[in-house]
Structure 1
Amino acid sequence: MFPLRDHNPSHRTAFVTWALIAANLGVFAATYPWDGEFGAAWQRLALYPGAVTHGQLLGGLVSHMFLHAGVAHLLGNMLFLWIFGDNLEEALGHFGFALLYLAAGLAAAFAQIAADPSSLVPMVGASGAIAGVMGGYLLLFPRARVDVLFVFVVFFKVLPIPAWLVLGVWFALQLWSGAVADVAGGGVAYWAHAGGFATGLALTLPAWLRRGGAGFWARSGGHPEHAANRYPTRIPLVPRRRR
């Protein structure tokens, strides 16, 4: 289950969202070990929970958000940021959105440190900060439609799904996977994702309350403020030519 786009247009240029995407792409190009060996700079910029708990390599609390462990890791994160970032930036303003992104990334880091404070496994990626964007999006646009690609073996289909279902299921999977990973081990920072998501939701709460809280949902029905984008939902059939 992989989101492709939402039906929620924004009417302002998302300068911060695009700047963050550009920064992540630039840092990846500059630091990724194209020769197969991670350099000293990459190792220094990653987040090491065990080092932070001893007051060392504290810069990794921020710099880890701009590192990625591979092309798929990077592109997946940037896709999520592109889908959900512009609408939340329009709702919160450029400065408010930037603060939420940074705060969610820091909260994600501390959540992972709390889960495994002695770990020396490096943590990298913008996932925690982007999870905060997803949490805020869920609160303001719960019924925005998100086109999701479902893949099952060789079968695939794109379906429009309400944001509350897409993001709610994603958050539940992070909690469940985090509990399982504590027992079985794993290489994904699930608690960072969960911590970032919860922080983004909490930081968006004032904006939601200013709009009327539950009354805002009642007026909007949880749908986006602007008319939804209309994308083709079916692949057109091409008739066979007779010879």
Structure 2
Amino acid sequence: MIPLEDTAPRRNRPLITVGLIFVNGMIFLYELLLPRSLKEEFFYLLGIVPARFAYPEWAAWVGFPVGDYWPFITHQFLHSGWIHFLGNMWTLWIFGDNVEDRMGSIRFLLFYLLSGLLAGIVHLVSNPASGLPAVGASGAIAGVMGAYLFLFPNARVRVFFPLFLLPLFFEVHTVTFFGTWFLMQILGGVLADASQAGGVAWWGHLGGFAAGVLFYRFFLKPIQDEGGSRIKFGIERLPL
């Protein structure tokens, strides 16, 4: 299912969401200008290569910078191709504006980077021997999705589903959409482990989503009463 739009309203301009899309876009255009050999080196240096951190002696031997942990941040701004880039930025646009609305710009940026950081750590732990660079904003965006699920549990998502040559457009409940996405990540991770094939950081996506679910409440703007005093954090609970 490809999300097209959601029904949750927002009150403020999503400055950080737009800014993240812009920065990712500029970096992606820069990637397109790089020769193939330099682009590969770019990904290896700024993406997460799990074996680089799991086996530091090997990493030093092959020439990776020692003690450099910036890839856990920089990998979030790299993309391997047009589909990867457009899919991530479109998803960020649909769900990021609402989450930013509830957190505020600075809190949202910190939450986004933290989700991507923890997604990268989960990818490292789940694939320590991998020598392939993991790049993309998917882990950070998965954290945004996890926050959205709990902040807007009653929203609906309009989706596009390509059924052979018949395109289907319909609305699904937020829980249905994210539940389907969650199961797809688990299935992809299990199948990838069984075949020992890389390419998608399935467990990293789940790590980012879990980070969003666990930590979103610490980044919410406090709600103020009419007198201006802070009374509580705005958290909508899932119906039990």
TM-score, normalised with respect to structure 2: 0.84
Residue 193 of structure 1: aligned partner: 205
1:186 to 1:42, Cα distance in 2 relative to 1, 3 A: closer
Residue 227 of structure 1: aligned partner: none
Cα distance between partner residues in 2 of 1:153 and 1:35: 37
2:183 to 146, 152, 172: 172
Whether 1:202 aligns to 2:206 is no
1:24 to 1:8, Cα distance in 2 relative to 1, 3 A: same
- TM-superposed deviation, 1:204: 1.6
* Superposed counterparts of 1:31-42, under 5 Å: 31-32=31-32, 35-37=35-37, 38-42=39-43
Q: Which runs of 5+ in 2 are unaligned?
A: 57-65, 222-231
SS at match of 1:4: strand
- TM-superposed deviation, 1:107: 0.6
Residue 171 of structure 2: aligned partner: 160
Cα distance between partner residues in 1 of 2:92 and 2:26: 16
- Percent identity between the two aligned chains: 37
Range moving further from structure 2, 53-62 or 162-171: 53-62
Q: Amino acid of the residue matched to residue 44 of structure 1?
A: L
CA RMSD of aligned residues (A): 2.1
1:16, 1:98 within 8 Å by CA — same for their partners in 2?
yes
Cα distance between partner residues in 2 of 1:197 and 1:212: 17
Cα distance between partner residues in 2 of 1:176 and 1:96: 32
Residue 226 of structure 1: aligned partner: none
* Superposed counterparts of 1:32-71, under 5 Å: 32=32, 35-37=35-37, 38-53=39-54, 54=56, 56-71=67-82
1:53-107 per-position Cα deviation (integer Å, ceiling 9, x unaligned):
2265422111110000001100000000000000000111112111110111011
Whether 1:12 aligns to 2:24 is no
1:147, 1:159 within 8 Å by CA — same for their partners in 2?
yes
1:191-240 per-position Cα deviation (integer Å, ceiling 9, x unaligned):
010000010111124549833654xx56xx9xxxxxxxxxxxxxxxxxxx
* Superposed counterparts of 1:72-111, under 5 Å: 72-111=83-122
Cα distance between partner residues in 1 of 2:140 and 2:205: 8
1:174 to 1:33, Cα distance in 2 relative to 1, 3 A: farther
Cα distance between partner residues in 2 of 1:111 and 1:42: 19
2:43, 2:135 within 8 Å by CA — same for their partners in 1?
no
1:146, 1:162 within 8 Å by CA — same for their partners in 2?
yes
Residue 30 of structure 2: aligned partner: 30
TM-score, normalised with respect to structure 1: 0.83
The number of residues matched between the two structures is: 217
Give every structure 1 segment of 4 or more consecutive aligned residues whose post-TM-superposition deviation is greater than 6 Å: none
Residue 124 of structure 1: aligned partner: 135
1:9-32 per-position Cα deviation (integer Å, ceiling 9, x unaligned):
211011110110001001111123
Cα distance between partner residues in 1 of 2:130 and 2:78: 18
* Superposed counterparts of 1:205-224, under 5 Å: 205-206=217-218, 207=220, 210-211=233-234, 214=237
1:169-201 per-position Cα deviation (integer Å, ceiling 9, x unaligned):
101211221122111123110001000001011
Q: Amino acid of the residue matched to residue 84 of structure 1?
A: F
